[in-house]
């Protein structure tokens, strides 16, 4: 990572210096959005923003001030996490009331080095997340989604089986930890974990647990597509999920979860849409070198093509493991994946999207969305109506 700085010498000559940065920032800026904002004239930034982020109901995405989250702001300063809040509107309908839900995404780095005891690592992640979840709850978030395998380091690069110890049943410790918040704040929580299915041969899965707003377990979804790319050696630990493409009916709307690498599979997104999802969450763990140019495109395309909202979440930071490993590409062994670049954001069915959370800090993104927008876009573009699924898949 590099930052260029212009300095003017005594003779008036402008010298451009390039300084290497190793903090996960983009040349010293915490996101592409802030880099552009700081470096473009306001009228240019407005045009760039219009094209990059799109327009929602004819105007730039609104920031929202959350009066109830004054305390969230204080908590975010105290615990040093990024806090951003936006709003997607829909057109006013004459026969249907708006269906506005407040949705939150949390991204975070691990709390202790991977050399700490497993128990300490787990407890420290809970301690780290507690104030962020509380801030979401206090801000009136209705549906909250955490990042992929949030309750452990993303150790699947190592291929070492000892990390399996972190796996828990769907009703295990991390679910119990979150159930209290769900109940306290009347909040649906999506909790992506490493699952151990105690009742079926103690098998391991990459699973999202859907916790209802009464603290009940609504269901689970197991990751459909398991990566075998670069250091993502996840198939050493679990295989392709067996839960299909479930859509969960919650009190706030119909939601689904497309876990990480599933975002590269358009048919995966399609199936959640065909099953009626209004918001699809994509809890992820991915690194800059591998996927950053794909990140803002795939989710946004899914939202457009399937007329639903997408919430994309990525981990933050660099996780270094005790023993080096190789990627099977002839390159030298190393002990980390590279930088998880955060950049969590929402995409809407009208092709607009929010600015991202920071590339290098923990964060909470809160966004209000009127779910009426999904049907309005179906009516406008007619993708569902004009699709020719039977012809495309050779079905009768």
| C-beta of 114 vs 291, nearer to ligand URP | 291
Catalytic residue among 84, 148, 254, 319: 148
- Contact status: 286 vs ligand URP (CB under 6 A): yes
- Contact status: 291 vs ligand URP (CB under 6 A): yes
Sign of the alpha-carbon dihedral angle for 118, 315, 136, 182: negative
Stretch touching ligand URP by CB under 6 A, among 119-127, 130-138, 278-286, 386-394: 278-286
- Contact status: 69 vs ligand URP (CB under 6 A): no
| C-beta of 222 vs 254, nearer to ligand URP | 222
Catalytic residue among 223, 234, 353, 374: 223
Could you identify the residue written with the tokens 């999802």?
277
Could you identify the residue written with the tokens 């509380």?
134
| C-beta of 82 vs 148, nearer to ligand URP | 148
d(CA 128, CA 65): 25
- Contact status: 227 vs ligand URP (CB under 6 A): yes
299 φ/ψ angles, rounded to the nearest 5 degrees: -65, -40
220 assigned to active site: no
Nearest residue to 315 via CA among 365, 366, 363: 363
93 assigned to active site: no
DSSP H helical ranges for the chain: 32-39, 42-53, 70-78, 118-138, 173-185, 266-274, 288-291, 295-306, 372-381, 383-386, 389-392
Work out which of 157, 260, 357, 365 binds ligand URP, going by CB under 6 A. Answer: 260
Judged by DSSP in three states, 373 sits in: helix
Sign of the alpha-carbon dihedral angle for 389, 394, 395, 396: positive
Work out which of 85, 136, 146, 285 binds ligand URP, going by CB under 6 A. Answer: 285
- Number of continuous H segments (helices) and E segments (strands) in the chain: 11, 19
- Contact status: 342 vs ligand URP (CB under 6 A): no
- Contact status: 350 vs ligand URP (CB under 6 A): no
333 φ/ψ angles, rounded to the nearest 5 degrees: -65, 155
| C-beta of 72 vs 146, nearer to ligand URP | 146
- Contact status: 237 vs ligand URP (CB under 6 A): no
Work out which of 29, 177, 232, 321 binds ligand URP, going by CB under 6 A. Answer: 232
Q: Which residues bind ligand URP (CB under 6 A)?
A: 148, 227, 232, 260-261, 284-286, 290-291
The residues carrying an active-site annotation are: 148, 223, 260
């Amino acid at each position: 990572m590099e930052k260029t700085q212009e300095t003017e010498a005594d003779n008036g000559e402008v010298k451009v210096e390039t300084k290497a940065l190793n903090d996960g920032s983009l040349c010293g800026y915490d996101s592409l959005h802030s880099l552009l904002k700081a470096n473009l004239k306001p009228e240019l930034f407005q045009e760039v923003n219009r094209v990059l982020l799109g327009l929602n109901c004819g105007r730039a995405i609104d920031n929202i001030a959350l009066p109830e989250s004054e305390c969230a702001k204080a908590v975010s300063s105290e615990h040093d996490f990024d806090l951003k809040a936006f709003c997607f509107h829909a057109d006013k309908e004459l026969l249907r009331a708006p269906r506005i839900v407040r949705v939150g995404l949390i991204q975070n780095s691990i709390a202790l080095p991977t050399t700490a005891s497993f128990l300490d690592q787990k407890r420290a992640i809970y301690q780290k997340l507690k104030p962020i979840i509380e801030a979401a709850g206090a801000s009136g978030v209705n549906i909250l989604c955490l990042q992929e395998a949030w309750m452990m380091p993303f150790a699947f690069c190592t291929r070492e089986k000892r990390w399996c110890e972190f796996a828990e049943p769907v009703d295990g410790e991390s679910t119990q930890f979150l159930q209290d918040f769900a109940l306290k704040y009347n909040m649906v929580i999506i909790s992506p974990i490493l699952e151990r299915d105690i009742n079926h041969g103690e098998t391991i899965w990459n699973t999202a647990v859907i916790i209802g707003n009464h603290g009940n377990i609504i269901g689970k979804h197991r990751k459909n597509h398991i990566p075998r790319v670069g250091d993502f050696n996840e198939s050493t630990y679990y295989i392709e999920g067996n839960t299909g493409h479930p859509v969960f009916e919650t009190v706030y709307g119909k939601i689904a979860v497309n876990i990480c690498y599933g975002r590269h599979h358009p048919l995966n997104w399609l199936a959640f849409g065909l099953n009626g999802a209004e918001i699809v969450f994509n809890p992820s763990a991915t690194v800059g070198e591998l996927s950053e140019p794909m990140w803002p495109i795939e989710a946004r395309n899914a939202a457009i093509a399937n007329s639903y909202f997408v919430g994309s979440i990525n981990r933050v930071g660099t996780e270094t493991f005790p023993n080096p490993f190789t990627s099977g590409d002839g390159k030298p062994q190393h002990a980390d994946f590279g930088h998880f670049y955060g950049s969590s954001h929402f995409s809407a069915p009208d092709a607009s999207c929010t600015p991202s959370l920071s590339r290098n800090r923990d964060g909470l993104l809160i966004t209000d969305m009127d779910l009426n927008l999904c049907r309005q876009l179906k009516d406008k573009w007619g993708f569902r109506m004009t699709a020719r699924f039977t012809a495309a898949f050779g079905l009768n």
